[in-house]
Amino acid sequence: MGLSILSDRPAEKQGGGRKTTDPTASVPFEVSEEEVSSTVSALIQYTGFQLKPRGRDYSYRVVGMKSEDREFTLTISNRAFEERHFPYQDGAALCYQKLQRELLAETDEFPLQHHLTISDQDLDEYLAKYRPARKRSW
């Protein structure tokens, strides 16, 4: 069973995929044509974050046409923000994109857990793609 992830903003056609924008951040994400043509659609809604002793918990509601609404929490550790210098303003976008990928990979046999933790690999991939190191030119 496939899953199309939609934001609550209109999509714009661009290249080989459908481009939509996370309603909580300015970082775009891509959805392939195969994913768009699947039979099940869902809307991911960002519902906010909370500061916890271990880090920040970002909350999302997934509203699907063929299933009940589901709540998900994704955690980014304090260490990621402090030691890895991950920008606070990118937290919601990173979690949104991770949730999107996990939902697309979800199967009936392996349903998605309702609490996910952002890994060092998730951070590295996001930073490399959206916040590459700047080359200094003297």
Extents of the domains making up the chain: 4-130
Q: Which residues are CB-contacts of 16 (< 8 A; sequence separation ≥ 6)?
A: 32, 33
51-90 pLDDT, tens digit per residue, is: 999 999 999 999 986 678 999 999 999 999 999 999 999 9
What global pTM score does this model have? 0.71
**Are residues 39 and 25 in contact, defined by beta-carbon separation less than 8 angstroms?**
no
Q: How far apart are CA 18 and CA 33, in angstroms?
A: 7
Percent of the chain residues topping a pLDDT of 70: 70
Tell me what the pLDDT averaged over the chain comes to. 79
What is the distance between the alpha carbons of residues 56 and 44, in angstroms, rounded to a whole number? Answer: 19
What would the mean pLDDT of 22-30 be, rounded to a whole number? 41
Of 15-19, 33-37, 56-60, 120-124, the poorest mean pLDDT is in 15-19
pLDDT band at 6 (very low <50, low <70, confident <90, very high): low
- What pLDDT is recorded for position 42? 85
Q: Decide if pLDDT at 95 tops 50.
A: yes
8 Cβ contact list (under 8 Å, min separation 6): 23, 43, 45
